[in-house]
Amino acid sequence: MFTRILVLAWADILIGYAMWMLMIYLTDVWKLTFTHSAGIVNVYMGLIGIMPLIIQFTIDTIMGNYWMLLFSSFSCCLGMGFLTMSTPPVLSKFTGTCSSYEPQCIGDTQLILFYTALALVAVGLAGQITSLGGFLGEHLMNAIEDISIRSILSVHAGNIVSFVVSAAAVLGLPYIKPWSLHFGIPAICTLVATLIFLSGSCTFTYVGPQGSHLTMVFRVLVAAASKLFQRYTADRDELYGMSNCPLPRTRLLRCLDKAALVLPDQSLEQQQNNRWRLCTVTEVEATKLIINLIPMSISFIFLGLISSLGYTFFVEQAKNMNHKVGSLTIPLTIFFWFYVQAKTYFPTLYVSVSGLFCGFDTRTMAPVIGFMVSMILGVLCCVTAAKVESHRLDVVESHGLLDKPDERIPLSVFWLLPQFILLGAVDGMFETSASSFFDLYFTPSLNKYMLLIGCVMQGLGCIGSILSVYLVGKVSERGGMPSWFQDSLNKSRLDNYYWFLSCLCAINLVLYMIMRFWYAFRSRDTQDQEASEDSDCCCCC
């Protein structure tokens, strides 16, 4: 049973490695400028970050994990199929275009298929990211009651197969020269994985939609708005559910307290039946907590700006550098593998190291410090990338390659390895710290939404990188100076852009620290005031 679920994850690994090369496909086949190609890739990656919040809400209210997983699997199949068909040789006879990998061989049909494919793949991957873990968790809960050697072996076998699939993607896909096969093989594997998953439908436990806890936020806002002109009271007895509230009552956003206000002209039973007009104090305080944390989540947009580099400019830099180590040619996808490993294992290393310190509460402080560490790593990543790019440009100029963008640069591609590893550490630290941080304040049902809000901010950062490149390019042209972004990478000054991003990330770190101190001070002040007003106040969970 678990194998039928895990095959979808294995297919996603192939899709991830195939789509990581999308930047090279657009610059080599479509002959787009590297900034134009980066814009397309960033929109695609941004959608993958933004859509899981909407998809999770849909799962909880309409579809359930099984149907969303099935829908997203078919979406990936169609998307990768359309992407394969958008390559010039596949439909050349039907569209009357040429079959070589040249921009003149790409007609309107191929363009429509390509952009439709990106949207479908983005929806499919976002859906699987959101529903696969939940669906697997539903079956793991059932399997806990009947643990057998077979189930344990299947889990270990799944990990081994995941490693084998990753190795095959790293070592195999780069040597597949035709782009139609490069996208086609993952498309076929995804179709087979979907059919295998579908074949086990009769053995799966279907859990219907349980309702979204995010609806609570909307209910509190609607209930507070409906009582906007009602007289506010500070009397605890007039607030619904005050005696059972596990959260401290806060003073900010006091207008939302009206959502828990019991109206005197109606009976309590009547008001309890309409949950959109009366909410408990616990729901009100949880909503306040979510709203208060959104400004802090905006700082995650800058991390999205940094993350977008790994699929765009870093890949373009690596494309024409020397890939040989002795007589061996190193595949480009090896850097994506290093990125994934750093993203996976660096947070584990951080947790192990932080546990050695006894000067602070690791459960509460480790996530907060983890965010700071991720931002510091972001600064180091941009500084390292700027230094390496300056060195690369020096080599380009010394060998007279400024006007030869397609020539191989006599500089080892492994100069880029530190920035890929640092980038993986940045993303890994952010995701792990966000999960631990929100676990402190929210129930698991709300925690997943807060994590998805963080992903939304990162997705907005990926899309916002398009605006940052445009604005930085325009500003750099002032005073008659050439833009930092030219038609080719060799004539551009990406090193200056990386320095600019490192400054932004440093400013973001300072703002985050100020905001954290403000939150800590405000929380302590609120608790002191509550304690002085009422010795029977609710304890903080």
CA distances in angstroms from 520 to 173, 251, 364, 368, 523, listed in the order given? 49, 14, 12, 11, 5
| Torsion region of 96: left, alpha or beta (phi above 0 gives left; psi -120 to 50 gives alpha) | left
CA distances in angstroms from 31 to 35, 102, 131, 406, listed in the order given? 11, 8, 37, 11
CB atoms within 10 A of CB 352: 9
The number of angstroms, rounded, from the C-alpha of 442 to the middle of its chain's C-alpha atoms is 20
- At residue 203, the pLDDT reads 72
Q: 83, 23, 79, 507: which is closest to 310 by C-alpha? A: 23
Would you list the DSSP string of 284-333?
HHHHHHHHHHHHHHTTHHHHHHHHGGGGTHHHHHHHTEE-EETTEEPPTT
Q: Sorting pLDDT into bands at 50, 70 and 90, what band is 128?
A: very high
Nearest-angstrom CA–CA distance, 428 and 430: 5
CB atoms within 10 A of CB 534: 11
- Model-level pTM? 0.88
CB atoms within 10 A of CB 480: 5
- At residue 142, the pLDDT reads 57
The number of angstroms, rounded, from the C-alpha of 174 to the middle of its chain's C-alpha atoms is 25
Q: 121, 123, 122, 111: which is closest to 190 by C-alpha? A: 121
State the average pLDDT over residues 73-99.
93
Nearest-angstrom CA–CA distance, 517 and 511: 10
CA distances in angstroms from 304 to 50, 173, 189, 505, listed in the order given? 11, 27, 30, 11
Q: pLDDT tens digits, residue range 169-187? A: 887 877 888 999 999 999 9
- At residue 120, the pLDDT reads 96
Nearest-angstrom CA–CA distance, 300 and 307: 11
Q: pLDDT tens digits, residue range 251-308? A: 777 788 888 888 777 777 777 778 888 888 888 888 888 887 777 777 788 888 999 9
Question: Is the CB of residue 230 less than 8 Å from the CB of residue 278?
Answer: no
